[in-house]
Amino acid sequence: MAGPWGIGIAGLLLGGIVGAVAQLSNFCSVGAVADIVLAGDWRRARSWMMALAVALLGTQILSAIGVADLSRTPYGLPASRWAWVAAGSIAFGYGMSLAGGCVQRALVRTGAGSIKSLLTLVLIAVAAALTLAIAPSPAEGGVTLPARFAFSLVGPAALVLIVFCLKDRWFRESPAHLWGGVAIGLAVSAAWIFSQSQGFNIGLNLLLHLGVTALAAPSGVTGTIPVFGFCALVGIAGGSGIVAAARGDLAFDRFADRSDVERHVVGGLLMGVGGAMAYGCTFGQGLAAFSTLSASPLIAVTGMLVGCVWGIRALEAGTPWGGLRLVFRAR
């Protein structure tokens, strides 16, 4: 295992790749769901699925050759915590709709100069830290697939995802979405090599890295801050900023009005609390945890999708209850 400097550099590099690619391809979970719900456009969703397919293959291969230890992650949660994860996931999904993006998107926008995304990140970090401080800590182990069965399942699962992605001509002819998904999937896989340091074996889980960093920072004990995770967060913002500067896309995005402030504040708080309850975000649970073939991402991703659709419809209707009526097509 590399020393702290090597782990930090790896975090910066992998985070930089994610940030640069996300800036180039507009990789975004909320955007992917909104594109489907509002425009019937699946390209960003297919980019996310391509990233998942590559992350599945890469992570399980690294585990099979003994490079990545997936036996000590917090994602195989016992059934007694599934309702807790589901509730947090719905809150996270609703919050990211209000704020216009998840943790990864907020980091990318912050790197490109967004003031309101920076505020959102601060609120997510504080809310996640407070929730992690009082919430039950995820335990290692729990419900996971046996290693041999998992490895036999991952190939067909990844193949189904890849075929679904590539069958769409619009997606095939969009190299930013196609290769962006591949690059992000590779970064998620590679992160497992380095995230095992300091006992933070959570992969590229941006929400938990942000929350744990915020929780540890006031103590001033550097050994309690996840070096890889913290550097990956910085790398994402930095990679996005470099690409944005090169393309002339740097913009100091400020709040448009009071309602814009309120949406980002509420969205950031919901993401922080909900993400800590769910032990991750769309990136952490949706890609990193999913690549381990554990139980919790199935619940978490479903809840986040439900919350996100609800939030999108609530923004259309103007109220949460109006959003529910739109979701269920009630009149």
In tens, the pLDDT along 21-74 reads: 999 999 999 999 999 988 999 999 999 999 999 999 999 999 889 888 887 788
Q: Indicate if the pLDDT at residue 144 is higher than 60.
A: no
Q: Lowest-pLDDT range, 29-38, 137-146, 309-318?
A: 137-146
Structure tokens at 70: 């997936």
How far, in Å, CA of 102 to CA of 94, rounded?
A: 10
Please give the average per-residue pLDDT across 69-90, as a whole number: 86
Give residue 141's pLDDT. Answer: 47
Q: Indicate if the pLDDT at residue 140 is higher than 60.
A: no
Give residue 331's pLDDT. Answer: 46
Q: SS3 string of 189-251?
A: HHHHHHCCHHHCCCCCCHHHHHHHHHHHHHHCCHHHCCHHHHHHHHHHHHHHHHHHHHCCCCC
Give residue 224's pLDDT. Answer: 63
- Residue-wise pLDDT for 234-280, tens only, equals 999 999 999 999 999 998 888 989 999 999 999 999 999 999 999 99
Please give the average per-residue pLDDT across 14-20, as a whole number: 97
* Beta carbons of 193 and 266 less than 8 angstroms apart: no
113-128: buried (b, 16+ CB within 10 Å) or exposed (e) per residue? bbebbbbbbbbbbbbb
Amino acid at 1: M
Please give the average per-residue pLDDT across 306-328, as a whole number: 93
Give residue 223's pLDDT. Answer: 54
Please give the average per-residue pLDDT across 179-206, as a whole number: 90
Q: What angle do CA 124, 181, 248 make, to 5 degrees?
A: 70
Q: Indicate if the pLDDT at residue 211 is higher than 80.
A: yes
pTM > 0.85: yes
* Beta carbons of 190 and 210 less than 8 angstroms apart: no
Burial class, 86, CB count within 10 angstroms (exposed 0-12 / middle 13-18 / buried 19+): buried
Structure tokens at 178: 């196609």
Q: Indicate if the pLDDT at residue 220 is higher than 60.
A: no
Q: Indicate if the pLDDT at residue 4 is higher than 80.
A: no
Q: What angle do CA 288, 294, 300 make, to 5 degrees?
A: 70
User: CA Rg, the chain, in Å?
Assistant: 18
Q: Lowest-pLDDT range, 131-145, 242-256, 286-300?
A: 131-145
Please give the average per-residue pLDDT across 165-183, as a whole number: 95
Residue with the larger pLDDT of the pair 71 and 188: 188
Give residue 236's pLDDT. Answer: 98
Give residue 314's pLDDT. Answer: 95
Q: Where are the domains of the chain?
A: 4-327
